[in-house]
Structure 1
Amino acid sequence: MADDWRNGGFGLYVHWPFCEAKCPYCDFNSHVSKKIDQERWLAAYLSELRRSASETPGRVLNTIFFGGGTPSLMDPETVSSVIDEARALWHPSNDMEITLEANPGSVEAGRFAAYRDAGVNRISMGVQALNDDDLRRLGRIHTVAEAQAAFEIARTCFDRVSFDLIYARQHQTPEAWRAELSEALSMAVDHLSLYQLTIEDGTAFGDRYAVGKLRGLPEDDSAADMYLITQDICEAHGLPAYEVSNHARTGAESQHNLIYWRYGDYIGIGPGAHGRLTLNEEKYATETYLNPQRWLDAAERGGGEKGRTTLSLEDQASEYLMMGMRISEGLDIDRWELLAGRKLSEDTVDHLIGIKMIEHENGRLRATSDGRAVLNAVIRELLS
């Protein structure tokens, strides 16, 4: 089992925790700061890269992902130095994917060109809505026009550009979402991440919702209609769902996210970053300090990692099932049974196949379109 991670690959996630403003729906580890010492942050990132590489010598690095926060607020020189160091510490794959998340409000042509020259070859843009009123409700600091302009700039610099949209927003109807999604697909996009708005505890939206002040959220049936509309329209435009919330043309899938879903190994550095790492025939879940200043101080002392949890083979089997069932290629049954040390329940599998929630083909188990709509329930049944 020491080499199981090779089924998914090996990636690096770098978390940049700073934003220009905190969005009311966001429960990510993001913070607003007036002053950021980028040289100090770069030194901490490089130190953490070297520490991680000392544990994983000789590995081929498939992907790097700069997430946040708003990584497009990073100096291009910072991004360049992180990429150069990672390339020197591991063996870069011939087709290594290097993604940087960007917000339209922090984009300019020169900055994107500098990221490209630094080695970034894929941009993931947080557009979130193609409606100015909804952008304001979501706390976004850009307009639709700015988002469209930023997308065009990105297209001139990068072959691969994705953007995110949120649906089931306040006062949104299925008809309005259909029109908005069609507009997004007309922008020559080859990858879309499409998320239903969820109200999370601890966010500004969560606080408003708790006291009855977040009005106009769609009813469950309406939100379900929007999910089905999403599947139908994207598939008709040649961007089928390769994961529950992600749609792409063939060959444009996010290779970094596929490492997660295929249950590979990945290093997470930066405040609040998580990882999965196989060392000496054990697999570990890693986590770092959440508070940016605490992480920075700890990294400067030699380690920003908060702790590690050893994952039993049963834990690994459960995580692989939860991840693998999210993607259209599904779960490798032999691999799961090797991790779990037992077979999947034939009765459960037959029942779920019988009600058309899953299908079994060529040694793989995958959710059907109906099953994907209620995936959490399907996963619970398989795990039980």
Structure 2
Amino acid sequence: MASFALPQQQQLNVATAPEPLALYVHWPFCVSKCPYCDFNSHVRSAIDQDAWREALLADLDHEARLLPGRRLTSIFFGGGTPSLMEPGTVAALIAAAREQWPVADDLEITLEANPNSVEAARFADLAAAGVNRLSLGLQSFDDASLAFLGRAHSAREGLEALGIAQNHFTRVSFDLIYALPGDSEATWATMLDRALALGTGHLSLYQLTIEPGTRFAAQEAAGQLEPLDSDRAAALYELTAERTTAAGLPPYEISNHARPGEESRHNLAYWRYADYAGVGPGAHGRRLGQRTVRHRKPENFLSAIARNGHGIAEEEALTAIQAADEALVMGLRLAEGIDTAALAARFAMAEIVDWPAIDRLTGSGHITRNGSRIAATPAGRLVLNRLLAEIAA
């Protein structure tokens, strides 16, 4: 039988280059529950910071034992409201991650924060703890809209917190929510221009979505809330892409806009279907061909840590078809799209897309194709779920 060997240098690279890994840490606590939020967040009157630090460190240690030698490229503290964590807890988790894995020289460490004055006062300590990128939940520059969204800060507090963040962190991003009931192209354009003038290299701009189980969903069912109609929302989406592109922060993903080089490396790991370890209540992870989910309720998570040394509630091996479908769904959110041949080879499948459907959607202007690489056009991203249903092989 004929044998095949890589050249010596290539063999060396394969043997010595560790695979990249992203780490997600979930802090489940919030001061209050926003009416649009379906994330795993909980309001508690008291939080034992010492107990939570030890629990999260134990959960991280469990993942590290399963993923030795991987090169850590990013850490993301999400929530919940991670800026409610004691900076010492953040520092301890960063130090543990650095001890467990070799890290990239440009390790990105992001923490989500609310702009309340109490949390903004911690920004200097969080930066000293090792956070180098802050994601700030401004959501709006309008006090009436902030009240509608259930936010606990004012527009003035938000802008003050942004200024503090820009003084302390190398990279800053902030979120805005648009397509609220009553939004018009004129009102959103004014807010968007203001956002673009604030000088950050990254913006996350989300359309308001009524998620099941939220207070907004209950209000909609009771006839107390009427979402913006889909045609007007689509017009706002198109306006967003036009304005951000003109300002040098084009959309690199459906809701995320950045100057070249300022993209969220952590979120790119999700969308490019890389492995990531998820620790903390409700955290999802994907590693070694498995999907992991932690216990959502904080008390159940702590019980699992005490019982098992980790907080895993579910651990499932993914089939090649499941993984390929997930990679397709995630990758087509990106402006860069996906290399279908590379993904098919990765999952040992002949094809991961239906090429006649791709040809049809290319003709209709919803997909672009360059060899085996495909991407959704701006028009395609507006109807992405429908495209995915058509093209998955």
SS of the aligned residue for 1:31 comes to coil
Maintained 8 Å contact 2:185/2:235: yes
Aligned to 1:289: 295
Long gaps (5+) in structure 1: none
- 1:309 CA displacement: 0.8
Aligned to 1:267: 277
Alignment counterpart, residue 228 of structure 1, candidates 230, 238, 246: 238
CA distance in 1 between partners of 2:387 and 2:320 (Å): 21
Long gaps (5+) in structure 2: 1-13
CA distance in 1 between partners of 2:148 and 2:68 (Å): 47
Task: Trace 1:5-20 onto structure 2 (pairs within 5 A).
Answer: 9-20=20-31
SS of the aligned residue for 1:165 comes to strand
Aligned to 1:213: 224
Query: When the two structures are superposed, what TM-score results if normalisation uses the length of structure 1?
Result: 0.95
Flag the structure with more relative contact order, 1 or 2, with Cα contacts below 8 A and sequence separation at least 6: 1
Aligned to 2:312: 305
CA distance in 1 between partners of 2:354 and 2:77 (Å): 39
Maintained 8 Å contact 1:73/1:106: no
Q: After alignment, is 169-178 or 117-126 more displaced?
A: 169-178
- 1:360 CA displacement: 1.4
Aligned to 2:361: 352
The 1:263/1:354 distance shift into structure 2, 3 A limit, reads same
CA distance in 2 between partners of 1:173 and 1:84 (Å): 47
Aligned to 1:325: 332
CA distance in 2 between partners of 1:249 and 1:313 (Å): 35
Maintained 8 Å contact 1:7/1:262: no
Alignment counterpart, residue 342 of structure 1, candidates 342, 345, 350: 350
Aligned length: 375
Report Cα offsets for 1:249-298 as digits up to 9, x if no partner: 000000000000000001111111000011xxxx0000011111100121
Task: Trace 1:1-384 onto structure 2 (pairs within 5 A).
Answer: 9-105=20-116, 107=118, 110-215=121-226, 217-278=227-288, 283-301=289-307, 302-338=309-345, 339=347, 341-343=349-351, 344-361=353-370, 363-384=372-393
Sequence identity, in percent? 48
- 1:345 CA displacement: 2.5
Maintained 8 Å contact 2:355/2:391: no
- 1:353 CA displacement: 1.0
CA distance in 1 between partners of 2:68 and 2:54 (Å): 21
The 1:107/1:327 distance shift into structure 2, 3 A limit, reads farther
Maintained 8 Å contact 2:205/2:256: yes
Aligned-pair Cα RMSD in Å: 1.6
Maintained 8 Å contact 1:7/1:264: no
- 1:7 CA displacement: 11
Q: After alignment, is 330-339 or 64-73 more displaced?
A: 330-339
- 1:158 CA displacement: 0.9
Report Cα offsets for 1:88-142 as digits up to 9, x if no partner: 0111111110000000015556511111111100000111111100100100000
CA distance in 2 between partners of 1:93 and 1:107 (Å): 32
Stretches of 4+ aligned residues off by more than 2 angstroms: 6-9, 106-110, 343-346
